[in-house]
Each structure stands twice: as structure tokens, then as C-alpha cells.
A and B are shown apart, each in its own frame.
Chain A
Amino acid sequence: MLQVTGAGAAALLALSACSSSGSDSQSGASSSGGGSGGLSGTVNVFAAASLTESFTELGEEFEKQHPGTEVVFNFGGSDSLAAGITSGAPADVFASASPGTMKVVTDADAAAGTPVTFVRNRLEIATLPGNPDRVASLKDLTGDGLKVVLCDKAVPCGAAAHKALTAAGLELTPVSYEEDVKSALNKVVLKEADAAVVYRTDVEAAGDKVAGVEFPESAKAVNDYPITLLKDAPNADVGEAFIELVRSAEGRKVLTGAGFTAP
């Protein structure tokens, strides 16, 4: 029975961005499953795209610690995830890349309790491997002849880049405003652009496909990542336990390993 619920939830996840508020009837179906103190059932975690690598690792760890549970992730742009949640997507946990997108969820009264910041992320310049253009600072990106991509201001990484540039008093005309941080990074990975301003974690995740250049102005545009249990969580107990793991010393280790900093 749980399996069926899980499959249904997974199918709904795929539709999360456009699903309507008809799924509330599902709640309770899986949380009533366990009986004893042990946790079981599927937990749906909506998380910012930049958390993909670290949360996937934590999810596997969680399933190992709690046999009988399954962590299903829906990674995406924080904004579209928030929109999905406020439209009734069946999520238990929401981890966002910015307090602004989290506020969309709390304003809609969809969060259970107050969200907590669990990690911070800062920006870094991603350049071609070996840094052939010798980019050393944010200012170097403003020169002519260098193809730079930024995230669009509508998404958190773009807002942060804008903030850093403003703090540095720099004007930068990119060749493109990308729709999310991964596509900005991939333009450099594919060597179509010479540099991109992305999160440090994305540079880390890309390995040797890009070279990272830190810049001091990134301190002016640090993104807080809040996490919260959701009010209509179909499987609140397991969701709570997953948040505990994320915030534990063990979780912290995985996250800082991916390039995040502790709050």
C-alpha cells in the first residue's frame, strides 16, 4: 500500500509545478503506516537545484539509517518549487536557496514552524579549465572580449551576482542572463562562455571542467539557505527526521564538503 502511495506521490512530484490543491486528501495515508516508533514511508523533499549533489548523498545516508523509508527529491529553481508548494504539491520538506523564496511559502502559511538557515553559499567565478584568460577578480570580467554569463536577476544566483557587482561598483554586460545557476555554469563547461558567476558549490561540483576564482565582493552577497517542514506534509515524522540529519554534524560535514559554509 505504501508503495502505491509512493509511486503516486512520485508521479505527482513530476507534475508539482502545475498541480492544484487537490492532493490534500492524501495526507495521513503514509504517516499512519508505521505503528511502532520506527519511521517508514516516503518523504518528499523539495530542494534548490544547488543542493542536488549534497542532498542526494544525505538522502542515501538517511535511507540507510532508517530502513523502510524512501527519500524522493524534487530539485529545481527555488522559485518554481515554492510556487509548486503553494499550489498544493505534496511536499514534506522545503529547502530553498534564498530567504526570499522561503518567504513565499511562509507568507502562504504553508510552513510548519519557523524556517531555519542551515547553510550559506557564496559566489565564485567559474572560468575555463586552467583559467586561460587569467581572470583574477570580478573587475576582470568587465573587460571587452570576454564572454561572461550571469544568472537572470529573477533567480537567486542572479540577484546575488547583481548585489556583488553593485557592492564593487562595477558594470558588467554579460552575453546572456541564464535561467538558473546550472545552465550558467554549463555554458562555461561547454566552453561557449569564458566565465560565469555561479555558486562556489557549483564550481566544486563541476570538478576539473571549470576553474574557480574567488573574489572578495562575494562576501557582500552571501545566500542563506533556509529549510522547513511543511504544514500539509503527508509524512511529517520522516520529514522532521530528515531535517535533523541535514542539521546534524554529519549533515554539516557533507554540506561543507560540497563547498557550503556553516551559518
Chain B
Amino acid sequence: MGTKLGGYRRRELAWLYLFVAPPVLGFLLFGLVPILFSIYISFHKWDMLTDPQWSGLGNYKDLLKDEKVFKSLYNTIYLMIGIPLGMILSMLLAILMNRKFAGISFMRTIYYLPVISPIIAVSLLWQWILNQDYGLLNNFLWETFGITGPNWLGKPEWVKPSLILIGLWSGIGGNMVLYLAGLQSISSTYYEAAEIDGAGAWHKLTRITIPLLTPIHFFVVVMGIIGAFQSFSQIYVLAVDGGPEYSGATVVYYIFQHAFEYFNMGYASAVAWVLGILIFIVTLIQFKLSNRWVYQD
């Protein structure tokens, strides 16, 4: 509050504002304005060619009767089966990687590579891997076990498992790094105390490691669900026109189709907002439930 510092303070503040201006302005212009506009447009019919026409809650009413909305929502939720699987795998991997031996950082890098690979390129590669006739995977199954592999991307019942598989492959590395950080923050005193009490490896894992990792579990679940709700790119590449019988289409893909294939911008915005609110509610519930199971020091 010193008046002497006033001028200095003000200059300091001016600099501060100057430095935060670009991202803030960027957000206002390219984030907030489109967001507000999409709320506005979701109450209209708009084909991008003529002026928007007010339709009130029309889009929202249509959406409740639209079976494709529910089908794509069901597909999206189905894909979330991958989240618990991914958690188990990445946690085990992190435990494996949490030791010192030669080449450990190389191993970690290998597992992290899929995370930084561009998703479109990765999807195209998977398209080859999963091809029924000349794909790597079915070839491997045939050569090694004599099993004729399924038509991964061509049969409605196999499309979603394929997508889950790809999600696992590309998501494990990122979660592994999170778990590694979590593991390294667990104090060794716990383990030493447990050993004195005669605990074996299993007990150490289930009674110490897993409970103390709950903040990481929580983070991974929340982000995983949000990410699953938003999955689009791999669908766009792997499931042409939503896949056989629309079995691969996620909600965001459906939104994309309405926005950029049928140019129903109003309807697409309405579905997008419903999805946004849904994600918000699900996440809120998770936070509410979190104090029951997440361990905090």
C-alpha cells in the first residue's frame, strides 16, 4: 500500500498485462466468441448460406427423437471400456518401469512414442494392421495360432473392440508416465514399515501402492472419460461414414457430420452443447464421489 511504490507497482502491472494479453485476447477472440456464438446458433436453423432462422428449442426437441444421437452416444460410452483396462495395464507397466536398470529410459520412451505420434497417421497404420486379408494382426494370428482373425473394421460387432484396442495402444504411455510420477512420490518408509510387519509383495501392492495412487487413478479416470467423449480423429479415419451400420460413430463424429457434411450448424451446435453439459455433469459427479475413495495426505 506504500504510495512510494505506487508508480513502480503500476509499471510492474502494466508489464504483467502486456505479457498476458496475447493468450487472453486469443482466448476471447478464438475461444469465447465462438462458444457464445454456438449457444446462439443452437437455437436456430442455419445452413451457413442463408441467415439463421430462429427455431427456439426445435433443435433440442429433434435431438431427443434422433436415434442416431443415442446410437452414437452408446458407441461412445462403449468405448469407455478401454479406460479401466488402460488403467490396469499402465499401472502395471509403471511398476515394471519403476526400477533402475540399463536401458530403462529407452524402454519408457518406446512406450511413450504412441502418445506423441500424430493420431491420423497412427490411424492409417492401424487400418493396415487390422485389414482382414493382408493385415499384420490377422496374419500373426494365422501364422502363430492357426486362428482365422475377424474382419476387424468391417463387422459391426468388431469395430468398437478394434477402436478400444487402438485407444489402449496409444493411451497407455501417457498414463504410465503419470503413474510413474505417482509411484516415485510414495515414500519408501511405508514399504519398510510393512516389511517389518511381514507383508509380502502382494500386500504391499494392494495395501500401499494402489491406495496411495488414488489421486492418479482419479485424474486418469476423469481425463479418460472426457477424452472418450471427445474421440473423433481415429473414427474419421477408421470408420468410413460411421462404420458398418453406424457402429463406429461417436458423438463428436455425428456432430461433425451434421456441421460439415449436412451443414446443419444449428443442430450440430445443439448436440455439441448437450454433449458438453453431459461431460460437465459426469465430471461433477466424479468429483463429488472422489472424497470417498481418493486418498489425500
User: Are A and B genuine complex partners?
Assistant: no
**Which A residues are within 8 Å of any B CB, using their own CB?**
none
